[in-house]
Amino acid sequence: MYNKDIMERFISPKYAGIIRGANGVGSAQDPNTNEMIKFYINVNEDAVICEAKFKAFGSPVVIAVADATAQMIIGMPIIEAEELNEARVLNMFDDIPQERMYSIFLAIDALNDTIDDYAKRLRKLQNKLLKEQGAQQQSANENSELLDDDYYDN
């Protein structure tokens, strides 16, 4: 029923699993079939996806597409991953049955949700660091003023 590539990825997906402490997690679910894909990514300091895993519930095509998508994004800058589209994922397969094409849209939706989660976490971390930096600067300014006052008191 399915081609060799789909069956190989379904039987032995290389990127199935979870990443504990992932800095991006997202999912998508098809409302008609209840099939779902959840991605986990780690992005390094150069904004490159260095690790990707998935969990999926669904047909062999859903699992194969999730596996292929995870493989594709490893080593990809996060900006490029944001632009990943259905055509690029489809190009990884010889033939996907027309009635299973939604699997590709599901994978892209899950990936976009994962990237959104990563961006939210990054903004939260940046805001935290800015607040800490501001507090340190305020403390340094207060200490400097105290030292200046001591100098003039002598």
Q: What's the pLDDT score for residue 91?
A: 87
Q: For 44-99, what is each residue's pLDDT tens digit?
A: 999 999 999 999 999 999 999 999 999 999 999 999 999 999 999 988 887 888 89
Give the rounded distance of the alpha carbon of 133 from its chain centre: 27
Residue 42 has pLDDT above 90, yes or no: yes
In the prediction, which pLDDT does 15 show?
Answer: 98
Q: Which domains does the chain have, with CATH numbers?
A: 4-123 (3.90.1010.10)
In the predicted structure, residue 36 carries a pLDDT above the cut 60: yes
Res 146 pLDDT > 90: no
Residues 6 or more apart in contact with residue 26 via CB below 8 angstroms: 38, 39, 110, 111, 112, 113, 114, 115, 116, 117
How many Cα atoms occupy the beta-carbon half-sphere of 39 within 13 Å?
34
Neighbours of 135 (CB within 10 A): 10
Give the pLDDT confidence score for residue 63 in this predicted structure: 97
- pLDDT score at 142: 62
Q: Which residue has the higher pLDDT, 145 or 36?
A: 36
Tens digit of each residue's pLDDT (9 = 90 or more) over 93-140: 878 888 999 999 999 999 999 999 999 999 998 888 888 776 666 666
